[in-house]
Amino acid sequence: MDIVEKLIKKLQKKRGNIPSKLVEDLGNTRDPQAVEPLFYALKEGNCKVRKETAVALGRIGDSRAVRPLIHALNDWDLDVQKAASEALVKIGEPAIQHLINAMKMKNWRMRKTAARVLGEIRNTRTIEPLINALTDSNSYVRKAAVEALGEIKDTRALRPLINALNDGDPDVKMASSEAIVKIGEPSVQPLINEMKKGNWEVRKKAVEVLGNIGDAKALEPLINALKDGNLHVRIAAAEALGKMKDSKAVEPLINVLEEPGFTIMTEKAAWALGEIDDVRCVSPLFNKLKDLNLYFIRESLEKICGRMPANGHILFCKKCLHIGESHKFEITANKSINYISCRNCHSTLNLIKGIEKIILLIDNSFEEACVQKEGTFTVNWFKKKEPFDFDEIWIKEADDFEVEELVMKLKNDEDNKRRKRLASIPVYLSPFLKLPPSIRNLLKDTFKNILAKKQFSG
Protein backbone atom coordinates (compact mmCIF):
# COMPACT_ATOMS: atom_id res chain seq x y z
CA MET A 1 0.00 0.00 0.00
CA ASP A 2 1.50 3.34 -1.09
CA ILE A 3 1.50 6.55 0.92
CA VAL A 4 -1.56 8.02 -0.87
CA GLU A 5 -3.69 4.98 -0.10
CA LYS A 6 -2.58 5.14 3.55
CA LEU A 7 -3.56 8.79 3.79
CA ILE A 8 -6.94 8.13 2.14
CA LYS A 9 -7.65 5.31 4.64
CA LYS A 10 -6.76 7.62 7.52
CA LEU A 11 -9.14 10.25 6.09
CA GLN A 12 -11.97 7.74 5.85
CA LYS A 13 -11.44 6.66 9.47
CA LYS A 14 -11.42 10.26 10.73
CA ARG A 15 -14.76 11.27 9.21
CA GLY A 16 -16.07 12.63 12.48
CA ASN A 17 -12.97 14.71 13.23
CA ILE A 18 -10.82 15.33 10.14
CA PRO A 19 -7.35 16.80 10.89
CA SER A 20 -6.42 19.68 8.60
CA LYS A 21 -2.85 18.33 8.46
CA LEU A 22 -4.13 15.11 6.89
CA VAL A 23 -5.93 17.07 4.17
CA GLU A 24 -2.81 19.16 3.57
CA ASP A 25 -0.66 16.03 3.23
CA LEU A 26 -3.05 14.58 0.65
CA GLY A 27 -2.91 17.78 -1.36
CA ASN A 28 0.86 17.75 -1.29
CA THR A 29 0.88 14.33 -2.99
CA ARG A 30 -0.84 15.91 -6.03
CA ASP A 31 -2.24 12.44 -6.71
CA PRO A 32 -5.61 12.25 -8.54
CA GLN A 33 -6.57 9.27 -6.30
CA ALA A 34 -7.07 11.79 -3.47
CA VAL A 35 -9.64 13.94 -5.27
CA GLU A 36 -12.90 12.14 -4.56
CA PRO A 37 -12.02 11.22 -0.94
CA LEU A 38 -11.41 14.93 -0.31
CA PHE A 39 -14.96 15.87 -1.40
CA TYR A 40 -16.34 14.74 1.96
CA ALA A 41 -13.87 16.95 3.82
CA LEU A 42 -14.82 19.92 1.63
CA LYS A 43 -18.45 19.44 2.55
CA GLU A 44 -18.43 18.19 6.14
CA GLY A 45 -15.18 19.41 7.74
CA ASN A 46 -14.86 22.48 9.96
CA CYS A 47 -14.03 25.81 8.33
CA LYS A 48 -10.27 25.28 8.64
CA VAL A 49 -10.53 21.81 7.10
CA ARG A 50 -12.82 23.04 4.31
CA LYS A 51 -10.33 25.78 3.47
CA GLU A 52 -7.36 23.35 3.46
CA THR A 53 -9.38 20.93 1.32
CA ALA A 54 -10.06 23.60 -1.29
CA VAL A 55 -6.33 24.43 -1.31
CA ALA A 56 -5.48 20.73 -1.68
CA LEU A 57 -7.90 20.26 -4.58
CA GLY A 58 -6.42 23.29 -6.33
CA ARG A 59 -2.95 21.87 -5.85
CA ILE A 60 -3.98 18.55 -7.42
CA GLY A 61 -5.75 20.40 -10.28
CA ASP A 62 -8.15 17.64 -11.30
CA SER A 63 -11.26 18.67 -13.26
CA ARG A 64 -13.48 16.39 -11.12
CA ALA A 65 -13.11 18.94 -8.33
CA VAL A 66 -14.73 21.77 -10.30
CA ARG A 67 -18.36 21.19 -9.26
CA PRO A 68 -17.62 20.78 -5.52
CA LEU A 69 -15.39 23.84 -5.60
CA ILE A 70 -18.06 25.94 -7.33
CA HIS A 71 -20.47 24.82 -4.61
CA ALA A 72 -17.86 25.96 -2.05
CA LEU A 73 -17.95 29.47 -3.54
CA ASN A 74 -21.22 29.79 -1.61
CA ASP A 75 -19.66 28.68 1.69
CA TRP A 76 -20.54 30.89 4.66
CA ASP A 77 -16.83 31.24 5.54
CA LEU A 78 -15.00 33.84 3.48
CA ASP A 79 -11.64 32.05 3.76
CA VAL A 80 -13.22 28.92 2.26
CA GLN A 81 -14.71 30.99 -0.56
CA LYS A 82 -11.31 32.54 -1.28
CA ALA A 83 -9.53 29.17 -1.25
CA ALA A 84 -12.18 27.68 -3.58
CA SER A 85 -11.80 30.64 -5.98
CA GLU A 86 -8.02 30.25 -6.09
CA ALA A 87 -8.35 26.50 -6.64
CA LEU A 88 -10.68 27.02 -9.61
CA VAL A 89 -8.21 29.51 -11.10
CA LYS A 90 -5.47 26.89 -10.81
CA ILE A 91 -7.64 24.26 -12.49
CA GLY A 92 -8.31 26.80 -15.25
CA GLU A 93 -9.81 25.73 -18.58
CA PRO A 94 -11.92 22.78 -17.27
CA ALA A 95 -13.66 25.15 -14.85
CA ILE A 96 -14.72 27.75 -17.42
CA GLN A 97 -18.00 26.31 -18.66
CA HIS A 98 -19.13 25.45 -15.14
CA LEU A 99 -18.40 29.03 -14.05
CA ILE A 100 -20.28 30.40 -17.04
CA ASN A 101 -23.23 28.27 -15.97
CA ALA A 102 -22.87 29.59 -12.42
CA MET A 103 -23.32 33.11 -13.78
CA LYS A 104 -26.90 32.14 -14.67
CA MET A 105 -27.83 31.10 -11.12
CA LYS A 106 -30.48 32.97 -9.15
CA ASN A 107 -28.05 33.63 -6.30
CA TRP A 108 -26.40 36.98 -7.15
CA ARG A 109 -23.44 36.25 -4.89
CA MET A 110 -22.67 33.15 -6.94
CA ARG A 111 -22.98 35.14 -10.16
CA LYS A 112 -20.63 37.80 -8.81
CA THR A 113 -18.02 35.30 -7.60
CA ALA A 114 -18.17 33.27 -10.82
CA ALA A 115 -17.54 36.46 -12.84
CA ARG A 116 -14.60 37.38 -10.64
CA VAL A 117 -13.02 33.92 -10.97
CA LEU A 118 -13.45 33.99 -14.74
CA GLY A 119 -11.57 37.29 -14.77
CA GLU A 120 -8.71 35.70 -12.85
CA ILE A 121 -8.57 32.75 -15.26
CA ARG A 122 -8.20 35.29 -18.11
CA ASN A 123 -9.50 33.14 -20.95
CA THR A 124 -10.98 34.91 -24.00
CA ARG A 125 -13.74 32.27 -24.18
CA THR A 126 -15.39 34.10 -21.32
CA ILE A 127 -15.71 37.48 -23.05
CA GLU A 128 -19.28 37.10 -24.33
CA PRO A 129 -20.75 35.75 -21.06
CA LEU A 130 -19.03 38.53 -19.13
CA ILE A 131 -20.29 41.17 -21.57
CA ASN A 132 -23.81 39.78 -21.09
CA ALA A 133 -23.35 40.16 -17.33
CA LEU A 134 -22.90 43.92 -17.78
CA THR A 135 -26.70 44.12 -17.98
CA ASP A 136 -27.24 42.00 -14.84
CA SER A 137 -29.91 43.38 -12.50
CA ASN A 138 -27.44 43.38 -9.59
CA SER A 139 -24.77 46.10 -9.51
CA TYR A 140 -22.28 43.88 -7.66
CA VAL A 141 -22.46 41.35 -10.47
CA ARG A 142 -22.05 44.08 -13.08
CA LYS A 143 -19.02 45.46 -11.26
CA ALA A 144 -17.44 41.98 -11.02
CA ALA A 145 -18.01 41.44 -14.75
CA VAL A 146 -16.45 44.82 -15.57
CA GLU A 147 -13.40 44.04 -13.43
CA ALA A 148 -13.07 40.61 -15.06
CA LEU A 149 -13.12 42.15 -18.54
CA GLY A 150 -10.43 44.58 -17.43
CA GLU A 151 -8.25 41.65 -16.36
CA ILE A 152 -8.71 39.84 -19.67
CA LYS A 153 -8.00 43.01 -21.71
CA ASP A 154 -9.79 41.85 -24.87
CA THR A 155 -10.69 44.71 -27.24
CA ARG A 156 -14.10 43.15 -27.95
CA ALA A 157 -15.12 44.40 -24.52
CA LEU A 158 -14.28 48.04 -25.30
CA ARG A 159 -17.64 49.23 -26.58
CA PRO A 160 -19.63 47.51 -23.80
CA LEU A 161 -17.21 48.91 -21.21
CA ILE A 162 -17.52 52.43 -22.67
CA ASN A 163 -21.30 52.04 -22.45
CA ALA A 164 -20.88 50.95 -18.83
CA LEU A 165 -19.38 54.36 -18.06
CA ASN A 166 -23.01 55.49 -18.04
CA ASP A 167 -24.13 52.78 -15.59
CA GLY A 168 -26.47 53.99 -12.87
CA ASP A 169 -24.17 52.70 -10.12
CA PRO A 170 -21.09 54.87 -9.34
CA ASP A 171 -18.97 51.84 -8.39
CA VAL A 172 -19.68 50.22 -11.76
CA LYS A 173 -18.76 53.47 -13.50
CA MET A 174 -15.46 53.64 -11.61
CA ALA A 175 -14.69 49.98 -12.33
CA SER A 176 -15.47 50.52 -16.03
CA SER A 177 -13.06 53.44 -16.17
CA GLU A 178 -10.31 51.34 -14.56
CA ALA A 179 -10.99 48.40 -16.90
CA ILE A 180 -10.70 50.60 -19.99
CA VAL A 181 -7.42 52.02 -18.67
CA LYS A 182 -6.10 48.46 -18.31
CA ILE A 183 -6.95 47.74 -21.96
CA GLY A 184 -4.87 50.82 -22.74
CA GLU A 185 -3.90 52.11 -26.19
CA PRO A 186 -6.70 50.38 -28.19
CA SER A 187 -9.19 52.36 -26.07
CA VAL A 188 -7.85 55.78 -27.05
CA GLN A 189 -9.52 56.38 -30.44
CA PRO A 190 -12.95 55.09 -29.36
CA LEU A 191 -12.79 57.42 -26.36
CA ILE A 192 -11.72 60.36 -28.56
CA ASN A 193 -14.79 59.61 -30.67
CA GLU A 194 -16.93 59.74 -27.52
CA MET A 195 -15.64 63.27 -26.88
CA LYS A 196 -17.41 64.43 -30.02
CA LYS A 197 -20.86 63.42 -28.77
CA GLY A 198 -23.57 65.76 -27.54
CA ASN A 199 -23.97 64.39 -24.01
CA TRP A 200 -21.58 66.31 -21.74
CA GLU A 201 -21.49 63.48 -19.20
CA VAL A 202 -20.22 61.11 -21.91
CA ARG A 203 -17.59 63.66 -22.96
CA LYS A 204 -16.52 64.22 -19.37
CA LYS A 205 -16.12 60.51 -18.63
CA ALA A 206 -14.18 59.97 -21.87
CA VAL A 207 -11.83 62.84 -20.96
CA GLU A 208 -11.24 61.41 -17.47
CA VAL A 209 -10.39 57.95 -18.79
CA LEU A 210 -8.07 59.35 -21.47
CA GLY A 211 -6.22 61.26 -18.77
CA ASN A 212 -5.74 58.05 -16.80
CA ILE A 213 -4.52 56.14 -19.88
CA GLY A 214 -2.01 58.89 -20.65
CA ASP A 215 -1.54 58.11 -24.35
CA ALA A 216 0.05 60.94 -26.37
CA LYS A 217 -2.58 60.59 -29.14
CA ALA A 218 -5.15 62.02 -26.73
CA LEU A 219 -3.15 65.18 -26.03
CA GLU A 220 -4.58 67.43 -28.76
CA PRO A 221 -8.22 66.37 -28.16
CA LEU A 222 -7.74 67.01 -24.43
CA ILE A 223 -6.22 70.44 -25.10
CA ASN A 224 -9.21 71.23 -27.33
CA ALA A 225 -11.51 70.12 -24.52
CA LEU A 226 -10.24 73.07 -22.44
CA LYS A 227 -12.59 75.11 -24.65
CA ASP A 228 -15.56 72.74 -24.37
CA GLY A 229 -18.94 74.41 -23.88
CA ASN A 230 -19.49 72.55 -20.60
CA LEU A 231 -17.59 73.56 -17.45
CA HIS A 232 -17.44 69.99 -16.11
CA VAL A 233 -15.75 68.81 -19.30
CA ARG A 234 -13.24 71.68 -19.14
CA ILE A 235 -12.40 70.83 -15.52
CA ALA A 236 -11.90 67.18 -16.44
CA ALA A 237 -9.65 68.21 -19.36
CA ALA A 238 -7.39 70.33 -17.12
CA GLU A 239 -7.12 67.47 -14.61
CA ALA A 240 -6.37 64.97 -17.38
CA LEU A 241 -3.61 67.17 -18.80
CA GLY A 242 -2.10 67.53 -15.35
CA LYS A 243 -2.03 63.74 -14.98
CA MET A 244 -0.37 63.32 -18.38
CA LYS A 245 2.40 65.80 -17.45
CA ASP A 246 3.15 66.59 -21.11
CA SER A 247 4.91 69.94 -21.68
CA LYS A 248 2.87 70.49 -24.88
CA ALA A 249 -0.08 71.32 -22.61
CA VAL A 250 1.78 74.13 -20.81
CA GLU A 251 0.85 77.04 -23.09
CA PRO A 252 -2.86 76.10 -23.40
CA LEU A 253 -3.05 75.77 -19.61
CA ILE A 254 -1.25 79.11 -19.16
CA ASN A 255 -3.89 80.68 -21.43
CA VAL A 256 -6.59 79.34 -19.10
CA LEU A 257 -4.70 80.54 -16.02
CA GLU A 258 -4.32 84.04 -17.44
CA GLU A 259 -8.05 84.52 -18.02
CA PRO A 260 -9.26 87.51 -15.95
CA GLY A 261 -10.38 87.01 -12.38
CA PHE A 262 -10.86 83.73 -10.52
CA THR A 263 -12.93 80.72 -11.56
CA ILE A 264 -12.72 77.02 -10.78
CA MET A 265 -10.74 76.71 -14.03
CA THR A 266 -8.08 79.02 -12.53
CA GLU A 267 -7.61 76.49 -9.75
CA LYS A 268 -7.56 73.48 -12.08
CA ALA A 269 -5.12 75.10 -14.53
CA ALA A 270 -2.81 76.08 -11.64
CA TRP A 271 -2.91 72.51 -10.30
CA ALA A 272 -2.19 71.03 -13.74
CA LEU A 273 0.75 73.38 -14.30
CA GLY A 274 2.14 72.36 -10.93
CA GLU A 275 2.03 68.71 -11.99
CA ILE A 276 3.94 69.35 -15.24
CA ASP A 277 7.69 69.54 -14.72
CA ASP A 278 8.25 72.60 -16.90
CA VAL A 279 9.85 75.81 -15.67
CA ARG A 280 7.82 77.86 -18.16
CA CYS A 281 4.95 77.57 -15.69
CA VAL A 282 6.65 79.69 -13.03
CA SER A 283 6.28 83.22 -14.42
CA PRO A 284 2.55 82.94 -15.22
CA LEU A 285 1.91 81.44 -11.78
CA PHE A 286 3.87 84.24 -10.09
CA ASN A 287 1.90 86.84 -12.06
CA LYS A 288 -1.38 85.23 -11.06
CA LEU A 289 -0.23 84.99 -7.45
CA LYS A 290 0.31 88.75 -7.40
CA ASP A 291 -3.31 89.23 -8.50
CA LEU A 292 -4.81 86.41 -6.44
CA ASN A 293 -2.85 85.29 -3.37
CA LEU A 294 -4.50 81.87 -3.30
CA TYR A 295 -3.15 78.73 -1.64
CA PHE A 296 -3.44 76.45 -4.67
CA ILE A 297 -1.29 78.81 -6.79
CA ARG A 298 1.31 78.85 -4.02
CA GLU A 299 1.23 75.06 -3.82
CA SER A 300 1.83 74.71 -7.57
CA LEU A 301 4.71 77.17 -7.43
CA GLU A 302 6.27 75.28 -4.53
CA LYS A 303 6.01 72.00 -6.47
CA ILE A 304 7.73 73.39 -9.58
CA CYS A 305 10.36 75.37 -7.70
CA GLY A 306 11.09 72.38 -5.48
CA ARG A 307 12.01 70.40 -8.60
CA MET A 308 14.34 73.11 -9.91
CA PRO A 309 18.07 72.41 -9.65
CA ALA A 310 20.11 74.72 -7.45
CA ASN A 311 22.74 75.25 -10.17
CA GLY A 312 21.66 78.04 -12.50
CA HIS A 313 23.88 76.78 -15.33
CA ILE A 314 21.58 73.81 -15.76
CA LEU A 315 18.69 76.11 -16.70
CA PHE A 316 19.32 78.13 -19.85
CA CYS A 317 17.05 80.61 -21.62
CA LYS A 318 16.94 79.56 -25.26
CA LYS A 319 15.43 82.93 -26.23
CA CYS A 320 17.97 85.27 -24.61
CA LEU A 321 20.85 82.75 -24.42
CA HIS A 322 21.39 83.58 -20.76
CA ILE A 323 21.75 81.19 -17.86
CA GLY A 324 19.20 80.95 -15.09
CA GLU A 325 19.67 82.91 -11.90
CA SER A 326 18.29 82.12 -8.47
CA HIS A 327 15.65 84.45 -6.97
CA LYS A 328 13.57 84.56 -3.84
CA PHE A 329 9.88 85.46 -3.92
CA GLU A 330 8.28 86.55 -0.64
CA ILE A 331 4.82 85.01 -0.41
CA THR A 332 4.10 86.18 3.11
CA ALA A 333 6.16 87.73 5.89
CA ASN A 334 7.20 84.26 7.02
CA LYS A 335 7.24 82.32 3.77
CA SER A 336 9.18 82.57 0.53
CA ILE A 337 9.90 80.49 -2.59
CA ASN A 338 13.29 80.14 -4.25
CA TYR A 339 13.14 79.84 -8.03
CA ILE A 340 15.31 80.26 -11.12
CA SER A 341 14.59 82.57 -14.03
CA CYS A 342 16.53 83.97 -16.97
CA ARG A 343 18.92 86.62 -15.65
CA ASN A 344 18.22 88.76 -18.71
CA CYS A 345 14.45 88.67 -19.32
CA HIS A 346 13.63 87.39 -15.78
CA SER A 347 11.14 84.93 -17.26
CA THR A 348 10.93 81.16 -16.86
CA LEU A 349 8.97 80.62 -20.06
CA ASN A 350 11.94 79.75 -22.28
CA LEU A 351 14.20 77.98 -19.80
CA ILE A 352 15.50 74.53 -20.77
CA LYS A 353 16.94 71.98 -18.38
CA GLY A 354 19.89 69.64 -18.49
CA ILE A 355 22.44 72.02 -20.03
CA GLU A 356 25.94 71.33 -18.68
CA LYS A 357 27.98 73.36 -21.17
CA ILE A 358 27.28 76.29 -23.52
CA ILE A 359 29.58 76.68 -26.53
CA LEU A 360 30.11 79.80 -28.62
CA LEU A 361 30.99 78.45 -32.08
CA ILE A 362 32.67 80.41 -34.91
CA ASP A 363 32.33 78.33 -38.03
CA ASN A 364 31.37 79.63 -41.49
CA SER A 365 30.26 76.14 -42.51
CA PHE A 366 27.80 75.81 -39.60
CA GLU A 367 24.26 76.62 -40.76
CA GLU A 368 22.08 76.18 -37.68
CA ALA A 369 21.54 79.06 -35.25
CA CYS A 370 21.89 76.72 -32.28
CA VAL A 371 22.00 73.01 -31.54
CA GLN A 372 21.19 71.17 -28.34
CA LYS A 373 22.82 67.75 -28.04
CA GLU A 374 22.67 65.83 -24.78
CA GLY A 375 24.12 68.23 -22.16
CA THR A 376 25.69 70.68 -24.65
CA PHE A 377 24.08 73.78 -26.17
CA THR A 378 26.03 75.19 -29.15
CA VAL A 379 25.32 78.71 -30.42
CA ASN A 380 26.41 79.91 -33.88
CA TRP A 381 28.11 83.29 -33.32
CA PHE A 382 27.45 84.34 -36.90
CA LYS A 383 23.70 84.05 -36.30
CA LYS A 384 23.81 85.98 -33.01
CA LYS A 385 26.76 88.45 -33.13
CA GLU A 386 25.85 89.80 -29.69
CA PRO A 387 27.33 88.68 -26.34
CA PHE A 388 25.51 85.91 -24.46
CA ASP A 389 26.34 83.48 -21.66
CA PHE A 390 28.77 80.71 -22.63
CA ASP A 391 31.38 78.38 -21.12
CA GLU A 392 33.73 77.74 -24.05
CA ILE A 393 34.68 79.23 -27.43
CA TRP A 394 35.31 76.98 -30.43
CA ILE A 395 36.88 78.62 -33.49
CA LYS A 396 36.80 76.25 -36.41
CA GLU A 397 36.52 78.32 -39.59
CA ALA A 398 36.80 82.14 -39.64
CA ASP A 399 38.96 84.94 -41.05
CA ASP A 400 41.03 87.49 -39.14
CA PHE A 401 38.38 90.18 -39.17
CA GLU A 402 35.64 87.84 -37.84
CA VAL A 403 37.79 86.68 -34.92
CA GLU A 404 38.83 90.21 -34.05
CA GLU A 405 35.20 91.37 -34.20
CA LEU A 406 34.23 88.63 -31.74
CA VAL A 407 36.98 89.55 -29.27
CA MET A 408 36.17 93.27 -29.36
CA LYS A 409 32.46 92.72 -28.83
CA LEU A 410 33.13 90.45 -25.87
CA LYS A 411 35.66 92.88 -24.35
CA ASN A 412 33.11 95.70 -24.68
CA ASP A 413 30.27 93.63 -23.27
CA GLU A 414 28.03 95.76 -21.03
CA ASP A 415 27.42 92.76 -18.79
CA ASN A 416 30.13 93.19 -16.14
CA LYS A 417 29.62 89.73 -14.66
CA ARG A 418 30.19 88.06 -18.01
CA ARG A 419 33.08 90.33 -18.97
CA LYS A 420 34.98 89.40 -15.80
CA ARG A 421 34.79 85.71 -16.73
CA LEU A 422 36.56 86.11 -20.10
CA ALA A 423 40.03 85.38 -18.75
CA SER A 424 38.90 81.99 -17.45
CA ILE A 425 37.06 80.95 -20.63
CA PRO A 426 38.92 78.25 -22.64
CA VAL A 427 39.27 78.87 -26.40
CA TYR A 428 39.70 75.90 -28.72
CA LEU A 429 41.25 76.52 -32.14
CA SER A 430 41.01 74.16 -35.07
CA PRO A 431 44.44 72.79 -36.07
CA PHE A 432 43.61 73.87 -39.63
CA LEU A 433 42.86 77.47 -38.67
CA LYS A 434 45.35 80.03 -40.00
CA LEU A 435 45.47 83.22 -37.97
CA PRO A 436 48.24 85.86 -37.95
CA PRO A 437 50.30 86.34 -34.77
CA SER A 438 48.51 89.61 -33.97
CA ILE A 439 45.11 87.86 -33.72
CA ARG A 440 46.55 84.95 -31.77
CA ASN A 441 48.11 87.43 -29.32
CA LEU A 442 44.79 89.23 -29.02
CA LEU A 443 43.10 85.93 -28.13
CA LYS A 444 45.80 85.07 -25.63
CA ASP A 445 45.67 88.48 -23.95
CA THR A 446 41.90 88.26 -23.61
CA PHE A 447 41.27 84.61 -22.74
CA LYS A 448 44.63 83.33 -21.46
CA ASN A 449 43.70 79.65 -21.98
CA ILE A 450 44.18 78.92 -25.71
CA LEU A 451 44.14 75.28 -26.84
CA ALA A 452 45.24 74.69 -30.41
CA LYS A 453 44.64 70.97 -30.77
CA LYS A 454 40.89 70.71 -30.22
CA GLN A 455 39.28 68.11 -32.50
CA PHE A 456 35.94 69.36 -33.80
CA SER A 457 33.08 66.95 -34.30
CA GLY A 458 31.07 69.10 -36.69
Q: Do residues 29 and 4 touch, judged by C-beta distance below 8 A?
A: yes
Residue 37: per-residue pLDDT = 83
Q: Is the pLDDT of residue 361 over 70?
A: yes
Listed in sequence order, the residues at least 6 apart from 419 whose beta carbon sits closer than 8 Å to its beta carbon are: 410, 411, 413
Higher confidence at residue 187 or residue 32? 187
b/e 287-312 (16+ beta carbons within 10 angstroms → b): ebbeeeeeeebbebbbbbbeebeeeb
CA quadruple 138, 143, 144, 146: dihedral, nearest 10:
130
Average pLDDT, the chain: 88
* 302-307: average pLDDT: 74
**If you average pLDDT over residues 108-137, what whole number do you get?**
95
Kindly indicate the confidence band of residue 437, based on its pLDDT and cuts at 50, 70 and 90: very high
pLDDT of residue 312: 44
**What pLDDT is stored for residue 140 in this prediction?**
97
pLDDT > 70 in the chain, percent: 93
Distance CA 364, CA 272 (A): 44
Q: How far apart are CA 74 and CA 56, in angstroms?
A: 18
What is the structure's pLDDT at 455?
62
Per-residue pLDDT of 55-70, as tens digits, reads 989 999 999 999 999 9
pLDDT band, residue 458 (cuts 50/70/90)? very low
Q: Residue 351 pairs with which residues in a beta bridge?
A: 317
Question: What pLDDT score does 3 carry?
Answer: 78
pLDDT at 301: 78
The whole-number pLDDT of residue 183 equals: 95
Query: How do residues 70-89 score in pLDDT, each as one tens digit?
Result: 999 988 999 999 999 999 99
Residues above pLDDT 90, as percent of the chain: 60
Give the residue, 148 or 298, on which the prediction is more confident. 148
pLDDT of residue 160 exceeding 80: yes
- In angstroms, what CA-CA distances link 295 with 221, 237, 270, 299, 339? 30, 22, 10, 6, 18
Residue 377's φ and ψ, nearest 5 degrees, are -120, 115
DSSP string of 224-288, one letter each residue: HGGG-SSHHHHHHHHHHHHHHT-GGGHHHHHHHHTSSS--HHHHHHHHHHHHS--GGGHHHHHHH
CA 12 to chain centre: 57
Q: Region 7-23: what's the mean pLDDT?
A: 75
Q: SS3 for 327?
A: strand
The pTM of this model reads: 0.69
Backbone angles phi, psi at 357, to 5 degrees: -150, 135
Residue 334 has pLDDT above 80, yes or no: no
Q: For 382-407, what is each residue's pLDDT tens digit?
A: 998 899 999 999 999 999 999 999 99
As a whole number of Å, the CA-based R_g of the chain is: 35
Task: Read off the pLDDT of each residue in 109-129 and give the average, rounded to a whole number.
Answer: 94
* Confidence band for 21, pLDDT divided at 50, 70 and 90: confident
How open is the CA angle 116-117-121, to the nearest 5 degrees?
120
